[in-house]
Structure 1
Amino acid sequence: MSASRLPFPLTLTGDGIVLREWRSEDLDDLVAMLDEPDIARWTPMPSPFDVEAGIAYLKRAHQGRVSGQRIQLAITEDGGRPLGEVLLFGVDAGLREAELGYLVGARDRRRGLASGSLSLLSSYARSTLQLTRLLLRIDPSNTASAAVARRCGYRLTGEPPILQVGPHGPSSLDTWELLDVRGGSRLDRLKNVAARRYGRRT
């Protein structure tokens, strides 16, 4: 994988979810989805999010995709109406790491779409892009997003918070990291290696 060329176009499917590229005809659904208080509170989106903001957003998304700088896909159930978005960006090929993000529109929350989409893109990043360190940045007050991260196998790293400035002012973001695909901490994995080698159970 090149640090500057992520695959485009891309469609990912699994568990009743279809992640697809954004389209110009998604504009009305995009504006309706992103023009709401929780989106403005937890993301640096413009607020209010109007048609002009939507046009600019789709333009930036397309530019980022064709240039291979990021993966930015609409969350759908069947390839049709967008219900949310999942992203992968900030790829460092040397460190083999990247950051992910996700959001789901208000009327489609609590249906497992965020966790399903995050798991789908995380799996693709690990297996196909060969990235070994996948990160999330989450405001500690955003308990719903933290719950999604936890369900998908991400855990807090304890790294210093990162400052983000949005329409509602600055916020501090905690860093979460996806656990090793085999699960558990590094210490747990070392214990299990010892158990296999010396016949001890952990």
Structure 2
Amino acid sequence: MATRLPYPLTLTGDGLVLRDWRPDDLDDLVALLDEPDIARWTPMPSPFDQEAGLAYLRRAHQGRISGQRIQLAVTEDGERPLGEVLLFGLDAGLKEAELGYLVGAQHRRRGLASGSLSLLSTYARSTLKLGRLLLRIDPANAASIAVARRCGYRLTGEPPILQVGPYGPSSLDTWELPGDRTETRLERLKNVAARRYGRRT
């Protein structure tokens, strides 16, 4: 049976309120995502206009109510969105998921990305009981790498993953948040094989 992620959801801590996206967030969403740095490092459409924003909010809502992903607006007071943090690609069998984050250009260098990632990572570990939390980051994205390191994530030795965005293809490195149990190299290779080729009996 597939695991459903909780909806609705609000996470608070360190001066942040992470909440679900709302229809009236459209203008703020477009302002956040219609900028070159976002388009460079993510597969977001560029330019990101009102039509793209409406489609994005529809997908976010559908993913939330279906329990397929956690996709939260980053705010300081529950109101104006300053960025986004998300959890997706949940594998209940492997007890792992991928996380992501972004912050609008005007709101960077305030610890919002690291605070949001830490908050969601803690929730994923303590409440969702996920043992392996992953990030996929372009090795040239120094700002995102700094956030990952600040939150305790470490670069793994897994092969890069291809991502195609508005500025062309890029190779993403895998970062992992160490857990209480140290996974052996053999176990990690088995998990990589399971994701690529499915479980073998």
The two structures have a TM-score, normalised by structure 1, of 0.89
Alignment of 1:103-114 (within 5 A): 103-114=102-113
Task: Count how many residue pairs are aligned between Structure 1 and Structure 2.
Answer: 184
> Is 1:28 the counterpart of 2:52 in the alignment?
no
Distance in 1 separating the partners of 2:58 and 2:179: 35
Which structure 1 segments of 5+ residues have no match? 188-202
CA offsets per residue over residues 121-159 of structure 1, 9 Å max, x none?
A: 000000000000000000000000000000001000011
Task: State the match for 2:64 in structure 1.
Answer: 65
Identity %: 83
CA offsets per residue over residues 72-102 of structure 1, 9 Å max, x none?
A: 0000000010000000000000000000000
Task: State the match for 2:166 in structure 1.
Answer: 167
Distance in 1 separating the partners of 2:183 and 2:124: 21
Alignment of 1:73-112 (within 5 A): 73-112=72-111
Which structure 2 segments of 5+ residues have no match? 185-201
Distance in 1 separating the partners of 2:131 and 2:87: 13
Structure 1 counterpart of 2:76, one-letter code: E
CA offsets per residue over residues 39-90 of structure 1, 9 Å max, x none?
A: 0000000000000000000000000000000000000000010000000000
Distance in 1 separating the partners of 2:6 and 2:46: 31
Distance in 2 separating the partners of 1:101 and 1:150: 14
Task: State the match for 1:200 in structure 2.
Answer: none
RMSD over aligned CA atoms reads: 1.3
Alignment of 1:145-156 (within 5 A): 145-156=144-155
| Deviation of the 1:167 alpha carbon | 0.4
| Deviation of the 1:186 alpha carbon | 6.7
Distance in 1 separating the partners of 2:115 and 2:157: 25
Distance in 1 separating the partners of 2:3 and 2:65: 11
Structure 1 counterpart of 2:97, one-letter code: A
| Deviation of the 1:4 alpha carbon | 3.7
Task: State the match for 2:49 in structure 1.
Answer: 50
Give the ranges of 4+ consecutive aligned residues of structure 1 lying more than 6 Å apart after TM superposition: none
Distance in 1 separating the partners of 2:2 and 2:35: 34
Distance in 2 separating the partners of 1:116 and 1:156: 20
**Equivalent position SS for 1:5:** coil
CA 1:181–1:117: 2 relative to 1, 3 Å: farther
Structure 2 counterpart of 1:122, one-letter code: S
Task: State the match for 1:128 in structure 2.
Answer: 127
The two structures have a TM-score, normalised by structure 2, of 0.89
Structure 2 counterpart of 1:24, one-letter code: P
Distance in 1 separating the partners of 2:54 and 2:12: 26
Distance in 1 separating the partners of 2:150 and 2:73: 21
